[in-house]
Structure 1
Amino acid sequence: MKWHQALKDYQNYLRIERGLSENTIINYSLDIKKLIQWLEENNISISPLKIEEKEVQEFIYQLAKKMNARSQSRIISGLKGFFNYLIFEDYRKTNPLELIESPKTGRKLPDTLSKEEINLLIESVDLSLPQGERNRAILETLYGCGLRVSELTGLKLSDLYFEEGFIQVTGKGNKQRFVPIAPITMKYITIYLSEIRVHQEIAKEFNDIVFLNRRGKKLTRAMIFTITKQLADKAGLRKTISPHTFRHSFATHLLENGADLRAIQQMLGHESITTTEIYMHVDRRHLSDVLLKYHPRR
C-alpha cells in the first residue's frame, strides 16, 4: 500500500465512519502529508505498512527544530490516529508512535474581549452599506450564541426556532445541539433577513443558508475572519481577534456572571467538561470576587 492510497482510505474512514467535518479531515490529512513530504525530501522509500519508530522519531526530531511544542503535539496525535486506523483495518500490527510521547504544552488561555470592546466592534459596523446589517447580525450571533465559525456559516433558516427562543446548531462530527438565542440577537437576524437578504438573488443550493455573500452564496470561513479583522482595525483594537474570540468571550462573560459550567458546556457543544473548564482560569480576579462575596467567612 502506498502513502497516498492509505491517506485517501483514512480520509474516507474519517468522513464516513467517524462523521467528521471536512475541515477536521483536512487538518488530520496535513499532519500525514508532512510526514510523506519529509520522507520524499530525504529519499526514504518506505510504505506506511513498513515504517518503524526510528524513522518517525527522526521526523519528530526534525519537527522540533521548527515548531513549538503545541504544534508538535498536534502532529504526533494526528499520526497516532492514522496508524491506529491502519491497525484497526489489519494492515499493521503495531503503531510506530506508541512509545513517542508528546511534549508538554501547558494550557493556553483563550483571548477574550471585554463587554466594552464587543460593543465597540459592533458599533464599528457601517450600517449604510447593505452588508452592514448582515455583519452586525453575524457578530451578534457569534457572541450571543457562542458559535464556531463553521457553525455560523452553516446556519440554516430551518435551524431558527425564534418562537421557542432556540437555534439548532450542527457542530463537530455533525452533532446537533440546541442553543438559546437572546431577543437582541433574534432582532438583528430578523432585520437582516427582512431588509437585506429578502432582496438578494440567491443561488438555489443556498436557499436555506442564513448568511450569504453579495452573490447569494454561502459565506466562507475566510470571509468571516476578514470581516472581524477589518472591524477590529476600524475600532482601533490592538488585540489579535478572530471569530473564535467571540466564542471565548461568550463563555467567559457567562461564567463571570454566575452561569453554571455544565450549562456553558452544553451551549458550546464540548464533549468533555474538561474543555470547558479552561474558562475557569481566564479571570482569576473574578473568582476572588466570588469568594469574597459568597463565602460564609468572607
Structure 2
Amino acid sequence: MNYLTLLQNMNGEQYLTHLQENLKARHLLDENRNLTLENSTEQDFLELFFLEELFPQDKRLSVHTVKAYRSDAKTLLTFLTDYSLSFRDLGFPEVKAYNQFINEKYAAKSAIRKLEFFRRLLDFGYETQFYKAHLSTWISKPLSKKGHHIIEETRHEEAQTRVQVRELNQREAEFLISFFPKIVRATRNREQLEKRNLLIGYLLYTTGLRASELLSLNWGSFRYNRKGFLFADVIGKGNKPRSIPIREETKEILFSFRKSMDDSVEINMQDTSPLFFALYNKNEPLENKKRLTYPALYKIVKEAVQLAGKNLSVTPHWFRHTFVTLLLENDVPLAVVKDWAGHSDISTTNIYLERINQDNSYLHLNKVNLF
C-alpha cells in the first residue's frame, strides 16, 4: 500500500464524507456490534483512525491542529515506507526504533507531539483488536522545559545551554509597535494598510491573542457589555470561547481603521467580514477584502523588527508572552489572567508567575539584614 498517497487522499473533506457513508457497508462489527479491526485491511485501520480518533464529525479543529496531525502522520508513514514496514508489522522493536528516530531528529516539543500522535494510533489499534498488545506502553517521550523560552547554545563543543525568555519589556513592545505602520511601502491604500498594521500591533500587545485568534477576528467579533465597555469574543484552543476587554487606546485605533476604509463603526455582531485583510493585487479595490494569512502577519512583525533594529527572533507570539507577564507584574489576579489568555490549566499561567517571582527575588533578599 502507498501510505503517502492514502494520506493525500484523506486531506479532503469530500473524501472523509464519502468514507463515513461507505463505512456503513463494511463488515467491521463483532458479535456485540462493537468495532473490530482484527481482520481488517490496513487501509480500513488507517481510515478509521483518522475518521474516529482525529477528525470526528462532532469536533471542530483549528487549521493549525489539522496541519499538525497531517504532518505527524506523514512523518510516521514516511518512516514505515523507508523501512518497508506495514502497520501490521509494528511490535516492540519497531515502536522503540520509531521512538528513537523521533527523539534524535526532532526538538523536544515536536518530538512529544509526534510521539503523542503515534501513541493515539497504537491505542486505537489495541482498542479495536488491530493490535493484540498494548504497544504504546513502550513509548518514551522526551522531557520538555515548560514555559516560554528559547534555548541558545553557549559553546559549540558543550551541551550547556542558556535560556532566553521569548518576551519583550513594556518599552521594547511599544517601540516595536510604532514601526508596524512604517513598513508599508505601497502607495495605493497606504493609509488603510498603515492603520491596519498599527491595529495589529496594538491588539497583539494589549489582548494577548494568539496569531490564529487575531486573524480569525471579524467586525462582528466585537460587542459592548452592559456597562458599555468594548469586548472581543474569540474562539481559542480546543474551540473554547472567551471574551477579552479592549483598551481605550486600542478601541480608538480600531475605529480609526474602520473609518479609513469607509466602514461603519457601529457594532454589528452579524458582520462576518474579516477585520484584517490582504490586498493581493495593487489594483484590487478595498471591497474585495481577503482574510490576512499567518505568513503575511509573520512578515509584518519580522519587517517591523528589522526596521526597528531589534532582536530578529521576535515573532507574533512574543507579544502574547509579554501581555501575560505584564498583567501578572501589575498584580492582576492569576485566575483572571488565565481566563484572558485562554490557558486550559492555571498551571500554565503559574509558570509566568514563578519566573516573575524569581526575577524579583533580589527584592526579598535586600530586605534581610545580613550585616
TM bracket (short chain): 0.7 to 0.9
Question: In structure 1, what is the equivalent of residue 175 of structure 2?
Answer: 120
Structure 1 residue 188: Cα displacement: 0.9
Question: In structure 1, what is the equivalent of residue 216 of structure 2?
Answer: 154
Change (3 A) 1:236 1:263: same
- Secondary structure of 1:179's counterpart equals strand
Question: In structure 2, what is the equivalent of residue 184 of structure 1?
Answer: 249
Question: In structure 1, what is the equivalent of residue 206 of structure 2?
Answer: 144
Q: Percent identity?
A: 26
Instruction: Name the aligned partner's letter for residue 120 of structure 1.
Output: F
Change (3 A) 1:100 1:13: closer
Question: In structure 2, what is the equivalent of residue 203 of structure 1?
Answer: none
- In the alignment, the residues of structure 2 paired with residue 219 and residue 88 of structure 1 have an alpha-carbon distance, to the nearest angstrom, of 42
Question: In structure 2, what is the equivalent of residue 69 of structure 1?
Answer: 108
2:144 to 105, 110, 127: 105
2:231 to 166, 169, 176: 166
Number of residue pairs matched? 288
TM-score (norm 1): 0.85
What are the ranges of 5 or more consecutive residues in structure 1 without an aligned counterpart?
200-205
Q: How does 1:4-19 map to 2 (within 5 A)?
A: 6=46, 9-10=49-50, 13-15=53-55, 16-19=57-60
Instruction: Name the aligned partner's letter for residue 80 of structure 1.
Output: R
Question: In structure 2, what is the equivalent of residue 202 of structure 1?
Answer: none
Bigger CA radius of gyration:
2
In proportion to residue count, which structure has more helix?
Answer: 1
Q: Map Cα deviations across residues 29-66 of structure 1 (whole Å, 9 max, x no partner).
A: 2122211101101122x22x552232121112223332
- In the alignment, the residues of structure 2 paired with residue 6 and residue 243 of structure 1 have an alpha-carbon distance, to the nearest angstrom, of 36
Change (3 A) 1:10 1:135: same
Q: Map Cα deviations across residues 136-181 of structure 1 (whole Å, 9 max, x no partner).
A: 1011111111101111111111110144321101112222111111
- In the alignment, the residues of structure 1 paired with residue 364 and residue 59 of structure 2 have an alpha-carbon distance, to the nearest angstrom, of 43
Change (3 A) 1:190 1:91: farther
Q: Map Cα deviations across residues 74-132 of structure 1 (whole Å, 9 max, x no partner).
A: 21122112333444556445442223221222324340011111111111133664311
CA RMSD across the alignment: 2.8
Greater mean deviation of Cα atoms: 24-33 or 278-287: 278-287
Question: In structure 2, what is the equivalent of residue 27 of structure 1?
Answer: 68
Greater mean deviation of Cα atoms: 65-74 or 139-148: 65-74
TM-score (norm 2): 0.70
Greater mean deviation of Cα atoms: 186-195 or 158-167: 158-167
1:248 to 294, 318, 321: 321
Q: Map Cα deviations across residues 217-259 of structure 1 (whole Å, 9 max, x no partner).
A: 0111111111111101011112411111111100011111111
Q: How does 1:189-228 map to 2 (within 5 A)?
A: 189-196=254-261, 198=263, 207-214=272-279, 215-228=288-301
**Greater RCO structure (CA 8 Å; 6+ sep):** 1
Poorly superposed stretches of 4+, deviation over 6 Å: none
